[in-house]
Structure formats: structure tokens, C-alpha cells
Amino acid sequence: MQGVTTLHEFILERQAEFPFATGELSRILNDISLAAKIVNREVNRAGLVDILGAQGNVNVQGEQQQKLDVIADERFIQAFKTGGEICGIASEENDDFVAFDNEISRNGKYVVLFDPLDGSSNIDVNVSIGTIFSIYRRTSPAGELATLEDMLQKGTEQVASGYVLYGSSTMLVYSTGCGVNGFTLDPSIGEFCLSHPDMKMPETSRLYSMNEGNLLICEEGIRQYINFCQQVDPPTGRPYSGRYIGSLVADFHRSLIKGGIYIYPDTTLNPEGKLRLIYECNPLAFIAEQAGGLATTGRKRILDIQPERLHQRTPLFIGSKKMVEQVMGLIEEYANKKIDA
């Protein structure tokens, strides 16, 4: 197709940015795109075959596994295992990390941490869902099995991260630390094509995204920020708009395109937060920062956290820079008032 750049072509053009990778990173990204196409096919036919509903198992998060959760997990693991560049993975759907025990994989230079199907509780009601992934260079010696330490690296060490959004169209958005680019799947040719080059997140917006059912169990600074968002703004005569899908990838994607803030705080019921650090928050934080946004716990930068556990949780405030800074300021202000009281 004249004038259209496919994901494969784009990756080849950008290979020179990674002299240390000698093609492996490009092959990993192509493996991800292939697995995403397969998962997209399964998502699109979910209502026609018996892959809707719960699998009957509970994952390590204490959540009911959906049938599509398991299918997506298997498809991505198979792609990573056969590609040869990955020595091990960690996934939301597996209790422990998986070290690939074959000769070619033992020599793989990378690990991938991923959530195979984020927002899977929305599958049965046909709401947008997604895949989130994060790529790191291994820290253990090549030729040996991958270790837990390979998986527990700070977000600042990411080589690449991204997500796939299965929605009204299917998009793959990723960053290798040199900006953010988005690709839309063209079903007529079966290829992801560059549709959103050099994506930038607006510095501010009038959109906020939070499950406001949790407001009464949040700290005061967050309640004050939501109260601010709901006040009538004199210049416009209207408050901010609340937009909450309940699917992290979809909510984040809207903020990336239109600006806004996504808030999933710690609460009295979930004092560590609820979202997973290494395969949900770190990848999206990497993308947010590359696009000019911010991602914090409300107090510190997400990417600076040293993970201690595979399924470690954290609060997340992510989105437009000025909006994240404002809510952080209110959290600090009201925390100090509480100390002084």
C-alpha cells in the first residue's frame, strides 16, 4: 500500500537506534505483533465460540480467570518461547515466573513481563480490553536459566514497553525510549500500520478517570482533587468530565490521545494499591513519560520503585503532567495538615 508504513518496516528503519540489540529487539516486537493478531482474532470471535466467561480457576491475584485470559497467556508465551530471544517471562496469570528451559532460549538476552489480557472482567460485555508488555535485558549470565532477579528490575531499566488495545479498532502502541508510536491493525492486509507517529500527551485536560466508588476510603488529598474537578470552572461554566471505563489500557489510551489523568489510589481496603507494578504500571509509566506525561504513586515516580515481588501492587496516578503534579500537591498538602493536627 503506497504511503503506508507497516510495523515491520518501521521497526527495521529504527533498528539503528539499538546497536546493542543486533536485531533481537526487532524480532521480539514482531513476535508480539503476531501474538496480538492471534489474540485479536480470538477476541473478535468470542461471542461465536465457547471462549466467553470464567475458566473456573482463580489466579495468583485472587481473581477469576476468564477463558480468554488463559488463551491470550498461552499465545504470548508460545510466541516468546519459540522466538529464541526471550529467556523467561512473568505474567499476571502465572503464580511464578517461567524460565524457558531449552538451549536457544537459555541464550536469549531478554525477559518479557506482561499482562496478557488487561480488563478481562469486561470481556463478556464487549468493552475494550488490552495486552500490556515490558521488555528488559536479562541480568543473569547467558546460557543459564532466567532468574527472579531478571524479572525484578526497576522500570528505568526497560528497553521497550507497550500495549495492544482491542477496541473499535486494534492498536499497538510502543516505545523503545525514543518517543511513542501507534499502529492500527488493517484487517484487509493483516498488518499493523503506522497511524499515530510521535505521540504526545497534552500537558493538561478536562478529563479525569477514577472509580469514584472508592472516594470515601481514599486519603483526603484525593477527595479534594476530585472535588476540584467537579467544581464549575468560571471560564467555561462547566466542571471537568469524569470518564472511567474500568479497563486500564482503554482509560490510559484516552489520556494519551486527549490528555487527562487516571487515578487508582491506595485505599483503606487496599493499602498497597491494586494495580501490579511490573507488568501494568511500569510499562505504561514508561510510555507516559516518553509522551511527555507523568506516572507516580501520588508521592514518588513509578519507574524509580525497586520491585521486591513479582505481583507487587502500587497506587497509580498517570497522565497529563500538570494534572498529576496538581493531585500530588494536594496529597502532600493534606497529609501535612493531618500530621500537624
Question: Which CATH number goes with the domain that contains 288?
Answer: 3.40.190.80
Convert the pLDDT of each residue in 52-73 to its tens digit: 444 445 555 555 567 888 889 9
202 domain residue, yes or no: no
Task: With a cut of 70, say whether residue 253 has pLDDT above it.
Answer: yes
Higher pLDDT, 260 or 82: 260
311 domain residue, yes or no: yes
120 class by beta-carbon count within 10 Å (0-12 exposed, 13-18 middle, 19+ buried): buried
Predicted pLDDT at 53: 46
Q: How far apart are CA 74 and CA 55, in angstroms?
A: 14
For range 202-228, the mean pLDDT: 96
Whether 115 has a binding-site annotation, put simply, is yes
- Quick one: 174 and 224 in the same domain? no
Model confidence at 18, pLDDT cuts 50, 70, 90, reads low
- Quick one: 186 and 227 in the same domain? no
Whether 168 has a binding-site annotation, put simply, is no
Whether 150 has a binding-site annotation, put simply, is no
Whether 274 has a binding-site annotation, put simply, is yes
Task: With a cut of 90, say whether residue 20 has pLDDT above it.
Answer: no
- Quick one: 67 and 121 in the same domain? yes
Range of the domain at 245: 207-340
- Quick one: 175 and 311 in the same domain? no
Whether 23 has a binding-site annotation, put simply, is no
Whether 244 has a binding-site annotation, put simply, is yes
Predicted pLDDT at 47: 55
Task: With a cut of 90, say whether residue 340 has pLDDT above it.
Answer: no
Q: Is 232 helix (H, G, I), strand (E, B) or coil?
A: coil
Whether 300 has a binding-site annotation, put simply, is no
- Quick one: 254 and 169 in the same domain? no
Convert the pLDDT of each residue in 120-166 to its tens digit: 777 777 788 999 999 999 999 999 999 999 999 999 999 999 999 99
CATH code of the domain containing 142:
3.30.540.10
141 domain residue, yes or no: yes
Which among 92-106, 108-122, 321-335 has the top mean pLDDT? Answer: 321-335
Show Cβ contacts of residue 121 under 8 Å, excluding neighbours closer than 6 positions. Answer: 63, 66, 246
Helix 282-290 × helix 248-258 angle, to 10°: 10
Domain count of the fold of the chain: 2
Whether 240 has a binding-site annotation, put simply, is no
Q: How far apart are CA 133 and CA 162, in angstroms?
A: 5
Model confidence at 302, pLDDT cuts 50, 70, 90, reads very high
Conformational region of residue 228, where left means phi above 0, alpha means psi within -120 to 50, and beta covers everything else: alpha
- Quick one: 190 and 48 in the same domain? yes
Predicted pLDDT at 52: 47
Predicted pLDDT at 51: 44
- Quick one: 75 and 113 in the same domain? yes
Q: How far is CA 113 from CA 137, 146, 195, 236, in A?
A: 11, 13, 26, 43
81 domain residue, yes or no: yes
Q: How far apart are CA 53 and CA 123, in angstroms?
A: 8
| Of 196, 218, 243, the domain-final residue | 196
- Quick one: 15 and 161 in the same domain? yes
| Of 196, 230, 258, the domain-final residue | 196
| Of 196, 219, 234, the domain-final residue | 196
300 domain residue, yes or no: yes
Whether 179 has a binding-site annotation, put simply, is no
- What is the percent of the chain where pLDDT is above 90? 75
201 domain residue, yes or no: no
Whether 128 has a binding-site annotation, put simply, is no
Conformational region of residue 206, where left means phi above 0, alpha means psi within -120 to 50, and beta covers everything else: alpha
2 domain residue, yes or no: no
Average pLDDT, rounded, for the chain: 90
Predicted pLDDT at 24: 87
Predicted pLDDT at 59: 53
Whether 94 has a binding-site annotation, put simply, is no
- Quick one: 172 and 297 in the same domain? no
Task: With a cut of 50, say whether residue 35 has pLDDT above it.
Answer: yes
271 domain residue, yes or no: yes
